[in-house]
């Protein structure tokens, strides 16, 4: 595999695009060839005009790219050539737009890592139900591998196309996955409460993300059939009725905290939970298990301990009085919940050490 | 006129001069309804197709 | 009943004491006779020295009072005389200290409204289990009425002693109470997740409430047998195994958001939930029902809509896919979750309009 990988980002102005840039500008094996935008005012501008924190870290300029706009034929063709010459392209555009781009660039042969929801669900009906539209190219679904290395490492190594999971789904999946390995649990049902930060809403302006109205809320924003649930059910192999979740927007910018409650038919002990979590994650570079019985800082997952890193902390406890077991997880929705999975998958696809660059992202505790 | 909300049994105040097709919403559960039939003081409602602004994140 | 009620506060330096002052200084029927502290440095000082927001609102000065300190006999006796001369005394001191004060001042005949946990639980064993010590005067337990007007209005009217509920318990009880009225539900089990603000930790300094370390957390701080649970079980009349909860410290100062998940044996519809919530709370001055199906601002409870007021918003929804019903509530932990119940009970005890002063506390939306 070539030591230097030529890569590009489609949709580099959103929060996912920004987070990709923050990781890739200092990735030893990556040469960033292009970063696109649909905004005419940014075409040709330095990246750091739009992302001031990147001043001094890249001299790259934005390329205009919008397949939906015929009048931009020359600009589009220029980017298509850049894509063709690159080894991998990251897509950081909304669902729907992503599928249309994939349909167009497939013939170029470049590896694709998509951060949208378009190719996560194997079942086009699930896609229709949650995204309320027909999937533009269902025949391509089977070519994409679900970009969660902890569950699909070997497939990702061999993959040409990877679809990265949603941030909430990553948290729910990684918390619940070990339970699917416990024989004694049988057909358990899990109910999640997921608490999320404002950066999940993305860069687009909206009243619900307006600072004066977003601060100090605990807002239930998705009551039941959240689109990320379809991924959790697919990845945990559980029928819809056994996995439910409610999401809350809470007071933070970056971070997801997730708790899953299970009421098993017969009691499951801490020992068994430790066994299941160790066998699932013991060797994982980016999963840390926090399940200390003694309360205190760090005894259980909290985004405060992972923010700015690719870690997903997982944990559990047993509530004997109610015969309840709880699984928990915490991650940074822009890193392990988004571009962390993308870059981790890319490292695997190109035979690099999986933690390249990602290991250098040390979680910073005093980082609001 | 008062009519029972089909969704939650709440009381919906239908203006006396309401016309067919007019949209009324239930003060409790917020569901919106279209006035389907009016016979004297008897009013029938049917759900109105309405897309709420999704406060999604 | 005398139009002007002479009242005092024991423990006026804590957050509960402060919140009591903020309400009582503008209560039309209250004349504040004393506000005590155990701190020598504050004895004789104006209240607004310690609580600068109250400058111009009261000329009251702190009285020194600490029964545990023999050397303060004169100061203690002076306050005991003040208590004897007053119509009602609010206790805003930690559990344990409260019970000792009650034992001492009972003979004075003044009405007592206690905000500590010492007299909330009817069963001394539950108190021992949760507070890890013997109850100092279990014989007095039966003389206290649980200070939640929505459930005990008539008893509070006639009460001499009232024990105000915990903030998290108020939220859990008010969310779950209507369900106990639905025949079809039978022996349901409810699992709560409760998200709380930093003011719940009180004025005492601790690393977990240190700003740099408290900001940006979603910290599970009580996993299972939280002390407030005993109140919820008592008030909802449910055995321990049917009520469980996990608490999270989230990014806000004031506020509690609570969600309760129930998986009924047979389906319960929205209509039935509306009937139960309307019959429980239809006439209540401080409970608002938010259960709108159309997503949007205010469709469900969120502390953002009650902060600064005595309201507890409650709501619910039905998740057909998983056969789950959810109940929710949101309140301001310093008001409806604390001094709101205390003042509401006081109004009832003295035959005043229950909402006196409390109705003037309009929830302020843009109030972090």
Question: What number is the average pLDDT over the span A90-118?
Answer: 96
Residues of A in contact with C252 (CB under 8 A): 216-218, 250-251
DSSP B52: P
In the predicted model, what is the mean pLDDT of residues A22-29?
98
Q: Once rounded to an integer, what is the mean pLDDT over residues C116-143?
A: 91
Assess C294–A contact: CB distance below 8 Å, yes or no.
no
Mean pLDDT of chain A: 95
Residues in B lying within 8 Å of A, measured between beta carbons: 55-57
Would you tell me the crossing angle of helices A15-24 and A340-349 to the nearest 10 degrees?
50
Distance CA A123, CA A304 (A): 36
Q: What angle do CA A316, A320, A321 make, to 5 degrees?
A: 130
pLDDT at B56: 44
Per-residue pLDDT band for B50 (boundaries 50, 70, 90) equals low
Residues of B in contact with C269 (CB under 8 A): none
Partners of A368 on chain C (C-beta within 8 Å) are 215-216
pLDDT at C188 over 70: yes
Banded model confidence at residue A12, pLDDT cuts 50, 70, 90: very high
Burial class (CB in 10 A: 0-12, 13-18, 19+), B46: exposed
8 Å CB contact between A114 and A144: yes
Which residues of B fall within a CB distance of 8 Å from C292? 29-31
Looking at residue C133, what is its pLDDT? 87
Q: Smallest Cα–Cα separation from A146: which of A52, A81, A80, A235?
A: A235
User: Where does the pLDDT of residue A368 fall: very low under 50, low under 70, confident under 90, or very high at 90 and above?
Assistant: confident
A304 and C217 within 8 Å at the Cβ level: the answer is: yes
Closest residue to C304, CB basis, from A217, A246, A254: A217
**Overall average pLDDT of the C27-54 stretch:** 97
Q: For residue C25, what pLDDT band results from cuts at 50, 70 and 90?
A: very high
**Of C271, C278, C296, which has the smallest distance from its Cβ to B53's Cβ?**
C296
Is a pLDDT exceeding 60 seen at residue B54?
no
Predicted pLDDT at C132: 86
Residue contacts between A and C (CB atoms, under 8 Å): 164
Neighboring chains of A (3 or more beta-carbon pairs < 8 A): B, C
Q: Measure the CA–CA gap between A283 and A301, rounded to whole angstroms.
A: 18
pLDDT > 90: what percent of chain C? 90
Domain B2-47 has CATH 2.20.28: yes
Mean pLDDT computed over every residue of chain C: 95
Distance from CA of C332 to the nearest CA of A (A): 12
C104 pLDDT more than 50: yes
| Distance from the C334 Cα atom to the nearest Cα atom in chain B, whole angstroms | 28
Q: What are phi and psi of A166, to 5 degrees?
A: -70, 160
In chain C, the domains with their CATH numbers are: 5-164+335-359 (3.40.50.720), 168-331 (3.30.360.10)
Does residue C167 have an active-site annotation? yes
Distance separating alpha carbons of residues A84 and A90, to the nearest angstrom: 13
Q: Cβ(C217)–Cβ(A302) under 8 Å?
A: yes
Residues of C in contact with A324 (CB under 8 A): 191, 224, 244
Closest Cβ–Cβ partner in C270, C295, C297 for B8: C270
Whether A194 and A246 have beta carbons less than 8 Å apart is answered as: yes
Does the pLDDT at position A141 exceed 80? Answer: yes
Closest approach of chain A CAs to the CA of B53, in angstroms? 11
Tokens found for residue C305 = 């809509």
Give the SS3 label for residue C111.
strand
Average pLDDT over residues C194-204: 95
Task: Tell me which of A55-69, A310-324, C220-234 is least confident.
Answer: C220-234
Find which of A126-135, B6-15, C332-341 is predicted with most confidence, using mean pLDDT: C332-341
Evaluate if residue A2 carries a pLDDT over 60. Answer: no
Predicted pLDDT of residue B51 = 52
State how far residue B40 is from chain C, nearest Cα, in angstroms.
27
What ipTM was predicted for this assembly? 0.90
Chain A CA closest to residue C306? A217
Q: What is the pLDDT of residues A308-319, one digit of tens each?
A: 999 999 999 999
pLDDT digits (tens, 9 = 90+) for C32-41: 999 999 999 9
Instruction: Judge whether residue A325 has pLDDT over 80.
Output: yes
């Amino acid at each position: 595999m070539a030591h230097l990988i030529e890569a590009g980002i489609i949709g580099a102005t959103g929060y996912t695009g920004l987070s990709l840039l923050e990781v890739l500008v200092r990735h030893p094996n990556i040469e960033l060839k292009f970063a696109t935008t649909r905004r005419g005012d940014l075409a040709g501008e330095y990246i750091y005009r739009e992302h001031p924190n990147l001043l001094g870290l890249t001299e790259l300029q934005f390329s205009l790219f919008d397949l939906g706009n015929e009048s931009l034929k020359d600009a589009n063709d220029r980017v298509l050539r850049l894509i063709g010459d690159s080894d991998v392209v990251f897509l950081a555009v909304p669902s729907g737009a992503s599928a249309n781009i994939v349909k167009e660039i497939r013939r170029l042969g470049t590896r694709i890592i998509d951060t949208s929801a378009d190719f996560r669900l194997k079942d086009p009906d699930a896609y229709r139900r949650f995204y309320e539209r027909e999937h533009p190219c269902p025949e391509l679904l089977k070519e994409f591998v679900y970009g969660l290395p902890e569950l699909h490492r070997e497939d990702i190594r061999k993959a040409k196309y990877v679809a990265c999971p949603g941030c909430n789904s990553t948290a729910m999946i990684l918390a619940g996955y070990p339970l699917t390995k416990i024989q004694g649990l049988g057909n358990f049902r899990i109910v999640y409460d997921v608490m999320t930060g404002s950066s999940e809403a993305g860069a687009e302006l909206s009243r619900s993300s307006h600072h004066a109205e977003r601060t100090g809320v605990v807002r239930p924003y998705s009551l039941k059939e959240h689109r990320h649930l379809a991924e959790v059910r697919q990845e945990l192999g559980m029928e819809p009725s056994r996995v439910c979740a409610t999401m809350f927007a809470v007071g933070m910018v970056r971070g997801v905290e997730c708790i899953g409650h299970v009421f098993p038919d017969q009691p499951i002990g801490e020992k068994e939970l430790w066994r299941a979590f160790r066998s699932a994650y013991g060797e994982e570079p980016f999963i840390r298990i926090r399940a200390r019985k003694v309360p205190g800082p760090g005894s259980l997952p909290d985004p405060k301990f992972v923010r700015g890193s690719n870690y997903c902390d997982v944990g559990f406890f047993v509530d004997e009085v109610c015969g309840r077991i709880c699984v928990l997880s915490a991650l940074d929705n822009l890193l392990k919940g988004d571009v962390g999975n993308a870059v981790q998958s890319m490292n695997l696809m190109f035979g690099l050490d999986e933690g390249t660059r990602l290991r250098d992202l040390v979680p910073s505790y005093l980082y609001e | 006129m008062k009519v029972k909300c089909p969704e939650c049994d709440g009381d919906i105040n239908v203006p006396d001069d309401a016309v067919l097709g007019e949209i009324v919403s239930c003060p409790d559960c917020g569901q919106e309804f279209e006035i389907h039939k009016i016979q004297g003081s008897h009013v029938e409602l049917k759900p109105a197709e309405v897309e709420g602004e999704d406060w999604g994140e």
